[in-house]
Amino acid sequence: MPRILIVEDDAQVGLLLRYTLEATGYEVATCGRDGFRAALEDGRRPDLVLLDDLPADPALMSAGVPRPPVLLLAEPRPGPPPLARGGVDATLEKPVGFPELLARIRTLLRGASATAPLAFGDIVLDPDALRVSRGGRAVHLGPTEFRLLKMFLEAPGRVFSREEIRARIWGREAEIDERTVDVHIGRLRKALARGRSRDPVRTVRGSGYALDDPSAAEGRRRRA
């Protein structure tokens, strides 16, 4: 599912935008202007940035990663809209109706380059089509499990602590305990290991979870 980053210094406005877009099916994260660079560098690149009437500083957009499309919600001002000079791809003048906002977001996402499928071993995840397969067999995941698998596929072999998983999947302020993390990991494992497929999610005792290539793991066991 497409991921939208809302850059908004007013926390209440940011939450309202977030809840509205999440209800439409998007994965949404929020941050203030000061946290924008960190949000781009945390390993989860957004597919679109929604900038709510903040200065569109070109330096803000140069965080060392390819820049996603940027949509600016701007207060009415005289003169031309603040587009390319500020690193903005499109501008909507406030007040903005939700249908208009949603239509512009969809247009920008369609115009962005398609996201390449993520693959590791026999597991393939297509972020644009929201499809997962393993060994050519379709795997049906819920939204949370889909995000979990995407996180693992973006860094196969890396061990993610439960705290990091909680922050990445639900947000740092979410009141989610470790048991909830374990439950969703269990659901992901069950979906991926149906039939005779081996479980690709490795539990690292005292540390967290990692995605391993089951065929490689089996080879290591045979050599041991």
Highest mean pLDDT range out of 78-82, 128-132, 185-189?
Answer: 185-189
Mention every residue, 6+ apart, whose C-beta is less than 8 A from residue 138: 131, 132
- Distance from C-alpha of 147 to C-alpha of 143, rounded to nearest angstrom: 6
Nearest to 45 by CA among 10, 72, 69, 17: 69
May I ask the CATH architecture of the domain 118-223?
Orthogonal Bundle (1.10)
pLDDT of residue 192: 92
The CATH code for residues 3-111 is: 3.40.50.2300
Domain-wise residue ranges, the chain: 3-111, 118-223
Residues listed for the chain: 224
Radius of gyration of the chain from its Cα atoms, rounded to whole angstroms: 20
pLDDT tens digit sequence for 1-23: 788 999 888 888 888 889 989 98
pTM greater than 0.75: no
pLDDT of residue 153: 92
| Single-letter residue type at 169 | I
pLDDT tens digit sequence for 144-203: 999 999 999 988 889 999 999 998 888 877 788 889 999 999 999 999 987 666 889 999
pLDDT of residue 201: 94
Residue 153 near residue 118, CB atoms below 8 Å: yes
By CB neighbour count within 10 A (0-12 exposed, 13-18 middle, 19+ buried), where does 68 fall? buried
Confidence at 124, pLDDT banded by 50, 70, 90: very high
Q: Which residues of 21-53 are buried (b: 16+ CB within 10 A; e: fewer)?
A: beeeebbbbbbeeeebbebbeeebbbbbbbbbb
In DSSP terms, 93 is beta-bridged to: 74
